[in-house]
Chain A
């Protein structure tokens, strides 16, 4: 090999092989498998079927298979890729203003395109009034319930990937409608 060719910068580093493939698989596997499971962390607490959870005086009833994730607010419950988040008690009994905020948040989302459905009225099992709206993006569904009682409101957000929502939507809806406030009968 001539001095000239030795001085020419070498070709691509030959890194193809087992290590490179393993690295690619590991990163892809983290995103595809590990990350969705990370939402259920070390602090998760499995809930028994019909267990009533309590948070700031609120009660919600979950069927079997749900875990409570960690101890940080907002309270998050998860099952099979779906989550229910409870955003505490808010000092508001204006349901439409609260739901409008949620709609505005989805419509202003720069990272995802949400198609927001109509706002629907609802009544919980305990008799409290509320409103609900559903947003769908290409990859996930998000449904928001705002439930009011005596000047206070709670926001419950159910979320699941597009492929999971059909099988979980009924359960998530039942959980949201099971919400009871401290003053409910």
Chain B
């Protein structure tokens, strides 16, 4: 049986889209790096400290998002690529596009409505650029963006990359405004990382990314998929515009919370819908394609929720000890991988065969321990 090497990340030098991705990342770095370095050189101590703080912030949120995945963990290389897109491509091109859009918007709105310029300019630049990263990844098969949940996840990663770099720049500007002290780093971390962070850039692009994932993964007619994807982008732009609007400007903290909550609610609704869709797809594939000897009906139901998987492992630990619990965890992971391989590469693929063998070995190990 001929086998085909399965590409498990977005790195694919035979893909023109990947080469474009690389090129734009280089271009973005060329645009944004001098600005970052100039800011850091102005106040080296606080500048470096701010870089470490925001790098830590980004790392913590990356780990949290990574561990919240429903089934298989996604490629860390692809995750890094999505983060880089947000961090350098969107920020870099934004240095050119956002001022231009602001100028056009101020010409449209006139001086009386100047407060609304940020509500129009930034969303119209940043949201499509962030979406472009998810779209690029979706066009590279190795990235495995094949569902709304995939798109939502990578959209949030792109948004997080953008948030980290933008917040760093704002922080070092705040440091400069306060004469070089470290206090501004903590105040900006609180304002942008905690108070605003939960419902700004990662959330906006998570919403629009879900639309991209739906477009590439749903079996619905193309027009419907296009309408949904466009609607998600429009929703992200509107929510971003709402957040940037001068409404409730008198109280920045209350305004950030009140204007940000709708975004969080929308994301949670889309997340729930995407997870339900992912579970249905997983269940459907498992029923149709997997031998009952490898994945029984009860096991299949247990796999559908992280909570039921965890509960099964804990019950095994209580009844048969740690080794059996570990063996059950290994079996669950192998079964998930097997179903995912069936979905992405088919039951004839090398990945599916490998995962099936892993399931057999895990079942044998578990049987020895129980």
Contacts and interface: CB of A to CB of B under 8 A. Distances in A.
Task: Say whether A and B bind each other.
Answer: yes
Given A31-B96, A108-B246, A162 B35 contact: yes
Interface stretch (A8-16, A55-63, A120-128, A167-175): A8-16
Contacts of B17: 16-17, 20-21, 24
Interface in B168-205: 169-170, 173-174, 176-177
Given A108-B246, A138-B170, A32 B18 contact: no
Interface stretch (B58-66, B70-78, B343-351): B343-351
Interface of A: 1-2, 4-5, 7-9, 11-18, 20-21, 23-25, 27-28, 31-33, 35-36, 38-39, 69-70, 72-74, 76, 78, 81, 83, 85, 87-88, 105, 108-113, 115, 136-140, 155, 159-163
Contact of B173 (A20, A25, A137): A137
A70 B15 CA distance: 43
A54 B309 CA distance: 74
B104 A38 contact: yes
Interface in B245-286: 245-246, 249, 255, 281, 284-285
21 contacts: A2-B289, A5-B346, A8-B285, A8-B289, A20-B136, A21-B17, A24-B20, A24-B135, A31-B94, A35-B101, A36-B99, A39-B103, A76-B103, A81-B99, A105-B115, A111-B118, A138-B170, A139-B98, A140-B98, A140-B102, A161-B95
Contacts of A73: 110
Contacts of A35: 96-97, 100-101, 104, 125
Contacts of B129: 27-28, 31
Contacts of A110: 118-119, 243-246, 249, 255
Interface in B69-113: 89, 93-104, 106-107, 110-111
Nearest to B215: A13
Contacts, number: 200
Contact of B128 (A27, A74, A83): A27
Interface of B: 12, 15-21, 24, 27, 34-35, 39, 89, 93-104, 106-107, 110-111, 114-115, 117-119, 121-122, 125, 128-129, 132, 135-136, 138-141, 143-146, 166, 169-170, 173-174, 176-177, 216-217, 219, 243-246, 249, 255, 281, 284-285, 288-289, 342-348
A113 B173 contact: yes
A9 B284 CA distance: 9
A115 B176 contact: yes
B29 to A, nearest CB: 13
Nearest to A109: B118
Contacts of A2: 289, 347
Contact of A13 (B12, B94, B95, B216): B216
A128 to B, nearest CB: 20
